[in-house]
């Protein structure tokens, strides 16, 4: 696509991109500095962790912090693999169910006319204003009344509904031309067929972005393990790592805390790298109607 002799979003490097790179590069470096520091901090030996003045980059990289973390976890009554397994199961089920309900609700609210549609959307928008602490007691009472204490569903169900994801996906569904949906109905397609074969393929960027948002919410969540789970073997890796950091909040335990921080951060980074193209497409098309 060209505009006044210049191509928009060229596939290869062009000289016209140099000025944009010069403007963006300082911001990229500034935003990347915390990530680089976390990665370097986890591999620092003890003398570098407490060096003064502090060092940004590791000089003598070592795996001792991770070795100490593994040894410390072996002294606990429950193996580290159990917490990893719990987190993987909870994250996969929660993200999958959340995306399913979010996309279905977005399709219904955006393209299907029914009584109470506007009211439901207003309720979702009101939910955006509430932080988790504000609904902590009502949520606990609901979980308790449903008998989900000390069950895997206590991890999953409180996090399935994510108003931000629904709001984002609904905006994308609204951009799907009504003429395509009407043509599908004229060909005999059902609502489920329209949703599965037409809507989902056209909102893949929004789904990718929503999956990252939901993943971050679930992966870093400690509320469910703190308030709904009493059995240690049902708690998640995030809770266990946070417990390690607090338990080793001493001079000798800073290496373990640094290693635990990096381990919890890596999955978020990997997921974003995998889905970054879809996320950029979401940002690029978020204002298009």
Do 142 and 24 share a structural domain?
Answer: no
Six-digit token string for 271 = 């997921």
Residue 108 included in any domain: yes
Are 209 and 143 in the same domain?
yes
Considering the domain architecture, whether residues 14 and 114 belong to the same structural domain is answered as no
Q: Please give the chain's pLDDT, 289 residues, in tens.
A: 444 545 555 566 677 778 888 888 888 888 888 888 888 888 888 888 777 787 888 888 888 888 888 877 777 677 888 888 999 999 999 999 999 999 999 999 999 888 988 999 999 888 888 877 888 888 899 999 999 999 999 999 999 989 999 999 999 999 889 999 999 999 999 999 999 999 999 898 889 989 999 999 999 898 899 999 998 889 998 888 887 766 555 555 677 778 888 888 888 888 888 887 766 555 445 544 4
Residue 239 and residue 96 share a domain = yes
Same domain for 117 and 230? yes
Which pLDDT score is estimated for 265?
Answer: 86
Residues 101, 244, single domain; the answer is yes
ω before 53 within 30° of 0 (cis)?
A: yes
SS3 category, 7: strand
Consecutive H or E run containing 204:
helix 204-219
Which tokens in the block code for residue 163?
Answer: 């108003």
Residue 61 belongs to a domain: no
Inside any domain, residue 246: yes
- The answer to whether 234 and 150 are in contact (CB under 8 A) is yes
What integer pLDDT is reported at residue 2 of this predicted model? 47
Q: Which residue has the tokens 């037409």?
A: 198
Residues 170, 88 share a domain: yes
For residues 98 and 166, is the Cβ–Cβ distance under 8 A?
A: no
Q: Residue 44 domain-assigned?
A: no
Instruction: Note whether residue 248 is domain-resident.
Output: yes
**How many domains would you assign to the chain?**
2
- Angle CA(248)–CA(252)–CA(256) in degrees, nearest 5? 55
- Between CA 103 and CA 167 the distance in angstroms is 10
- For residue 118, report the phi and psi dihedrals to the nearest 5 degrees: -65, -35
Containing 6, the helix (H) or strand (E) segment is strand 6-7
Q: Are residues 265 and 155 in the same domain?
A: yes
- Domain hosting residue 111, numbered range: 83-285
Q: Both 4 and 136 in a single domain? A: no
């Amino acid at each position: 696509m060209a505009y006044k002799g210049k191509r928009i979003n060229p596939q290869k490097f062009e000289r016209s991109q140099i000025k944009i790179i010069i403007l963006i590069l300082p911001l990229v470096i500034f935003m990347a500095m915390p990530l680089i520091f976390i990665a370097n901090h986890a591999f620092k030996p003890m003398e570098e962790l407490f060096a003064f003045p502090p060092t940004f980059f590791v000089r003598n990289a070592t795996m001792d912090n991770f070795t100490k973390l593994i040894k410390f976890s072996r002294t606990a009554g429950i193996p580290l693999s159990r917490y990893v397994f719990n987190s993987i199961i909870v994250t996969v089920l929660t993200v999958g169910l959340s995306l399913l309900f979010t996309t279905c609700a977005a399709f219904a609210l955006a393209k299907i006319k029914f009584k109470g549609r506007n009211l439901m959307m207003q309720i979702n928008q009101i939910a955006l204003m509430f932080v988790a602490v504000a609904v902590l007691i009502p949520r606990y009472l609901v979980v308790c009344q449903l008998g989900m204490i000390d069950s895997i569903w206590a991890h999953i169900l409180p996090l399935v509904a994510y108003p931000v994801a629904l709001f984002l996906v609904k905006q994308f569904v609204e951009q799907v031309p009504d003429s395509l949906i009407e043509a599908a109905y004229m060909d005999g397609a059902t609502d489920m067929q329209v949703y599965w074969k037409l809507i989902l393929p056209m909102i893949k960027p929004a789904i990718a972005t929503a999956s990252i948002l939901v993943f971050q919410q679930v992966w870093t969540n400690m509320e469910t393990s703190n308030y709904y789970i009493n059995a240690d073997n049902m708690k998640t890796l995030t809770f266990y790592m946070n417990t390690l950091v607090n338990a080793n909040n001493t001079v000798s335990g800073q290496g373990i805390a640094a290693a635990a921080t990096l381990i919890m951060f890596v999955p978020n980074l990997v997921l974003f790298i995998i889905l970054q193209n879809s996320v950029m497409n979401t940002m690029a098309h978020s204002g298009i109607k």
